[in-house]
Every structure is written in C-alpha cells, then in structure tokens.
Amino acid sequence: MRNSRETELGLREIVSRIWRARWMILAFQVIVVAVVAFVILFCPRKYRSEVKLFLKVGRETVGLDPTATAGGERIGVTRSGRDDEIISAMNTLKSRGIIGRAVERVDPQVVLGNKTVGDGFFEKGNAFTDLAFNTLGWFVEQVRSLDPIRPSERATINVERNIRVWAERVCVHGLWP
C-alpha cells in the first residue's frame, strides 16, 4: 500500500504537469474562442418585447344581484367569471387579422430583416458574414421560388410562429379575475 506522502502532489509536480499539457490547454482555449466567435457571427439574434394589457370590468361582466331591492338599500353587485373574456382577448391578440395589420404597419421587409428601421440603427455584420448570409440567402430564395408567397404573408407567418400570448392569474383587492 502507498502511504499518504506518495499520493500527495507537490507544487513542483503540479506545475510540471501543467507545463507538459500547455499545448492541450492552449488548443482548448483557441477552440472555445472560435466556437464563441462562430456563434456570435452566425447565429441570428432574437429580440423579445413584452406588453401588458389590462382588462377593465365592463357592463357585460357585472350584473345586479337577483335578490337586491331598489328601496334605498345598498344593491349588491355580482361578477361573473372573466375567464371567457380573457381567453377572447388572448385569441384576438393572436388573430391573423391583428398580426397582419401590425406587419403592414411596421413594413414586412423590416419584419423579415431585409430592411433597417428608421435611420439605420440596426446595422449588418462585417463583409465575411454578409457574404455568407448572401450566399445562404440565395439558396434559400431559390427553394422558396418553387412555391412563392408574398413578403407580407411570409412576415405574418414569421410573427405567428414567434408570438406568445398568456394570462397570469392575479388577485386584485381579494377578488380573482
């Protein structure tokens, strides 16, 4: 059996082992930097936006208590469940008509990434990435030309695939919506 002195590594032995593996360590670092650079240059950037929509209680969701009297006494008000109203609002936001109007208002070419917004705040990459994207884009356009669709339709489909609409249940003043 080995005693504990034989299994312990001294500082000199640790430095010696690191020095012998220096090319492997350097190669690993170069590979990591190359992969990170590749991801930054070639992966598309994704942007996320969040909007909060507050729904007010309307006449259609408030009714008189059937046992209430109007003889000077306080009249109770009942609230029906708002789940149907919230689902309806969510379906409206996800509807093709609303998305299509939003795409037309912004411009389909902007949604597809072919055109910049305003004064050119969004800039393209360097010459190498532009060449790579243009070459790849040419092949993609050749395949798309087999079954062409309008740019506005393509932009609407793109937004439909990427839109997320959900509702949170929030307790307001002790009442659940």
Task: Return the higher-pLDDT residue of 168 and 66.
Answer: 168
Residue ranges per structural domain of the chain: 1-43, 52-177
Helix (H, G, I), strand (E, B) or coil at 52: coil
- Judge whether 29 and 50 are in contact, CB under 8 Å: no
- Comparing 38-52, 71-85, 90-104, 159-173, the range with the smallest average pLDDT is 71-85
As a whole number of angstroms, the distance between CA 109 and CA 140 comes to 16
